[in-house]
Amino acid sequence: MRENVLERKKILRTKRKLRTRGKVFGVADMPRVTIFRSNRYFYAQAINDTESKTLAVADGKKMGLGNNKENVIKIAQSFAQELKKIGVSKVVFDRNGYLYHGVVAAFADTLRENGIAF
């Protein structure tokens, strides 16, 4: 891709991210779940914004899983188990500027299926 196209894509994602992030805030009993997806891996973390602490993490790279729907479903299942261990059943979902389809939607749906409500 040309540089100006890539730069435009980055700018648009940043705008979506800031627009979403301004409306989403996590507290201790209802943390913010934010995701990051690279070309190879998928990451998720639960954050308590009042104390600025990360409560739980799911790292696709450490699990040896890539960034496709089947692997993201496995990541979401393990992440849901971690959330249940710390006593969290309700979260606020921060899609971090990514469009809600594909692996992002698969992650969110799997969390819901495993008892984590949005």
- Which letter does DSSP use for residue 44 in this model? E
Residue keyed to tokens 């301004």: 22
Structural element, H or E, at residue 13: helix 3-21
pTM above 0.75, yes or no: yes
Indicate the SS3 state at residue 117.
Answer: strand
Query: Is 3.30.420.100 the CATH number for 3-113?
Result: yes
pLDDT tens figures, 13-68: 999 998 888 888 888 889 999 999 999 999 999 999 999 999 999 999 999 999 99
Q: Mean pLDDT, to the nearest integer, of 87-94?
A: 95
With contact defined as beta carbons under 8 Å apart, do 100 and 39 qualify?
no
CA–CA dist 47, 96 (Å, integer): 13
Residues 61, 89, 112, 107, Cα dihedral to 10°: -20
In the chain, where the domains are located? 3-113
Q: Mean pLDDT, to the nearest integer, of 85-112?
A: 95
CA 89, distance to chain mean position in Å, is 16
pLDDT value at residue 1: 63
> Which is higher by pLDDT, 1 or 67?
67
Q: What is the mean pLDDT of the chain?
A: 94
